[in-house]
Copies of this chain bind each other. A is one copy, B any other.
């Protein structure tokens, strides 16, 4: 058999199929605005359309294109749709699609600097570019993780090992006499408690600090009190996670006072700016994370609002030596003469192998240009404020959190409708819009009551779409 194999897709077959797929994607992106926003699929719809086993023999490419239309598209909530206001912007710019295609097509292997020097060095360079563009100092060193969840997990491991005297090199967390404690706000993203639990701290050592009732931002005085109490009881305050832009309401924890409190106790500060990092491309919004230079790590996701295809989550640290000490591994088969002189990104995160993710950012920045990216983000914030003003000015409607960025948290409060009845009303009109397929919104539970988030920021969303969703909200709330 040796030498006889030649059945895989060849470069020439790839050329023909690739052209057809590029055309399919261009056509699909063109018709997204005509599609229902929320998928109508019910559980089992999609899997029921697939065969019970994989094919033994090659299938024609046209059948796969048909499957994309028949199986995949109806099973996707269209987050590139201009009427998508749910969750958060998850823009996938076509520029970054090209960069990702280049990455996969080249098929480089990222397990060490030597295996693909360009994969490492381009990542270093684009991480430095992005750092500079959001006004961070050169003291920060970056890498690309898959998501901010992973970034937070790594930050918790770095905090754990700093506070625990690198116990993982000996008896581990289980050998510590005094518990390590982590602090975040009650409005932090679910990935924060998840990372704290998975890193081994235990839920009993996670303090969810009170927030200001108006801004939903962490109260520094409550943080200081909690740290003082733990320290007095012999526990070791290890980390604070500050959210710059919480998921539900885009609340901004005050970084400067948090850093001041943390530094007094040698506590690691991780800044989660997954959404809001993109706003920091605009100099006028950087006061929102004033004090960030005193933090130890931070993350932001160009794969959200900025529009570099997932997975592009930037993670920056100041102390690379500490990072590498905690996360490193150095088996013999990966050693090369270049070790020591180069960055080995395998020692900056969990996975050994990595994709050439930096090409997505490189292509996105070069083909769209930062001026246009900035203009779009500024547009989105202005559209959100415009919407917020209209909601505020309308009887029986409330804006329930400051419009710090691009999310407007609203509630229709008809006279006499309160408590659980109000929750039912909120969920009913929101769901009615979603079921209509004409727009997509997400409800969220904040302070025990449901509200509706109108998250502006899809690349295709213009003022007219924001105006339309506001009309739809008023109509739907009036009918339910």
Contact = CB atoms under 8 A, between A and B. Distances in A.
Interface in A330-367: 330-334, 338, 341-342, 350-355, 359, 362-363, 365-367
A428 interface: no
A197 B107 CA distance: 31
A332 B8 contact: no
A95 interface: yes
Nearest to A178: B174
B382 A2 contact: yes
A410 interface: no
A376 B2 CA distance: 9
A371 B117 contact: no
Q: Which 9 A-B pairs have the closest CB atoms?
A: A172-B202, A75-B118, A92-B107, A7-B372, A18-B22, A200-B200, A25-B105, A173-B200, A332-B445
A54 B370 contact: yes
Nearest to A177: B174
The interface size bin for chain A is 35 or more
A371 B57 CA distance: 6
A113 B43 CA distance: 9
A311 B355 contact: yes
Contact of A54 (B64, B74, B133, B190): B133
Interface string A1-45: 111110111111111011101111111111000000011011111
A404 interface: no
Contact of A169 (B53, B133, B197): B197
Interface string A49-63: 010011111110101
A393 interface: no
A101 B54 contact: no
A203 B325 CA distance: 14
Interface string A129-151: 11011000000000000110110
Given A8-B459, A30-B11, A367-B9, A46 B118 contact: yes
A462 B4 CA distance: 8
